[in-house]
Amino acid sequence: MNIADLYIRVSTDEQADKGYSQRDQEERLRRYCLTNNIVVNRVIFEDYSAKSFNRPEWVKLLADLKKKGAKTTLILFTKWDRFSRNAGDAYQMISILTKLGVEPQAVEQPLDLSIPENKMMLAIYLAAPEVENDRRALNTFYGMRRARKEGRVMGIAPFGYINRSMENGKKYVAIKEPEASTMRLAFNEIAKGIFAPNQIRQQIAKSGKKILGRNGFHIAIRNPLYCGKIFIEKFKDEEAHFVKGQHEPLISEELFYRVQDILDGNKRNIKPNARIISDANLPLRGFLLCPQCGRNLTGSGSKGRSNIYYYYHCIASCGFRFNAIEANELFERELQKHELHPSVKDILRSTILKNYKRFSGKNFDRKKEIIEEIESLNNKMSIARDKLLSDRIDDEDYRLIKFECKERIEKLEEQLDRCVTSTESVSINSRLEKALSFIENISALYKKGSIETKRSIIGSIFPEKLEFNGTTYRTARKNVFADYIFQINNNLHEIKNRKNHKNYDFSCLVARRGIEPLLPE
């Protein structure tokens, strides 16, 4: 007597179809078994597509059939499209089942597969649903591609938008707040080139605003939909291109492509290096080199029984590790050496003011020259107009003169705007004193400052990585300007080039060479 497993499959879009309902299939299969004296072993219900055999219940069934104690000799289903909608996969699965001693059979499309001619009918039964699937998929693809070409957003709306429907049932996407404002903020911050995109995402998340996860965020900032464009992929002879969307853009195209340049690394002229957001306990993370292997030192916290202990450690396997509190204290003591000497402060103030006045003076002279040239060009156009009215020149000559003069005036006005901006009346003295006071108290500013302030100070003084061996800090190069300002260990108050401190009335300078001939040495 044959023992059968009843396989009942429906896909999600077939649930409403009475001809494919699970109850209807089970009733027909049990009636067939009763008529043909077949014992029903079990009933398997599957709610999955038949495009492949990678279906949860089918995988379990096949695993049971491969066991030695399996008694099933038949797998029954209503039609062959319940078994598979892929001819190639179906033939392969039939071969596997035959080797296991199990015969697949459709009760409403019965075929004796031992007869070679019946394989042609099997091919028709299997190919028909596959062709139907392919045609349906192709129609869906063409319909969605046409909708995208018309500027419609297909599928689930991206972060910052929401799916809506009009009264006539037509769907569209609309801006959703506050998510839309969050994405605008993210694009504007990335465009500044100061922080890395993921660091900006973390800052937004810490502020309490809703934001995407790391992977979703990086996909979103690459999506041209936010600037009102929809990407059409290449298909056959049609090249990939963009179309204008029907939805309202969140940002301008200029801002979007500026962000793309920064993400691609093509535009780093805003800020050469993006800052690294670090934990307040690890201000030196990203600035240190391992003394053993030369790789970067990172930092992290280890949770103890009652507290979190922070360490700087190597990213390689050399094992270098040092307590972050001690390393920070050593760096603060190192920074105390950078004290602005009073004499250097006076010289620095005088030099900066002198150069500022020289720069401002040049701009003022250039501004005067530009104004004079603009007046000259306006006079030239006025003279040409008088000549036109008196018929001394024709219309074409007048238009040519007017065009050349206007074009030159526009360029000069742009230069004038830049000169005016650069020579605005600013309180240079108060700003300079404030800046010098910060430099004079650089170590105190570092101790009291936020993590961003600390890292800015480190990066401005030490443009290259610091090597930390556990007791001292060394660097291959220091900021030249900072080195001149602080004059570490130079002891400017001492007179190094004299043998004693006695004052002389004679000048220490060598007299300038005259017209007399030089004597041979």
What is the domain partition of the chain in residue ranges?
Answer: 3-134, 161-264, 342-432
* Token pair for 245: 């969307």
Q: What is the pLDDT of residue 272?
A: 39
The span from the CA of 229 to the CA of 223, in Å, is 9
DSSP code, position 304: -
The architecture (CATH level 2) of 3-134 comes to: 3-Layer(aba) Sandwich (3.40)
Residues 428, 349, 334, CA angle at the centre, nearest 5°?
Answer: 115
Q: What is the pLDDT of residue 113?
A: 79
Q: What is the pLDDT of residue 328?
A: 85
Q: What is the pLDDT of residue 26?
A: 86
Q: Count the residues in the chain.
A: 521
Cα–Cα distances in Å, from 474 out to 199, 278, 461?
29, 22, 13
What crossing angle do the helices spanning 118-149 and 87-99 adopt, rounded to 10°? 140
Q: What is the pLDDT of residue 185?
A: 92
Q: Which of 37, 44, 52 is nearest to 22 (CA)?
A: 44
The SS3 of residue 130 is helix
Spatial contact of 81 and 10, defined as CB atoms under 8 Å apart: no
CATH class of residue range 161-264: alpha beta
Spatial contact of 10 and 49, defined as CB atoms under 8 Å apart: no
Instruction: Calculate the average pLDDT of the chain.
Output: 77
Q: What is the pLDDT of residue 198?
A: 85
Buried b (16+ CB within 10 A) or exposed e, 116-148: eeeeeebeebbeebbeebeeeeeeeeeeeeeeb
pTM: 0.44
Q: What is the pLDDT of residue 403?
A: 86
User: CA gyration radius for the chain?
Assistant: 40
Q: Give the bridge partners for 43, in sequence order.
A: 6
The CA-to-CA distance between both ends of the chain, in Å, stands at 127
Q: Which stretches in the chain have pLDDT values below 70? A: 12-20, 265-278, 338-345, 356-365, 418-427, 437-440, 463, 475-521
Helices and strands, number each (H, E), in the chain: 16, 14
Exposure of 131 in the CB half-sphere (CA atoms within 13 A): 6
The span from the CA of 414 to the CA of 394, in Å, is 31
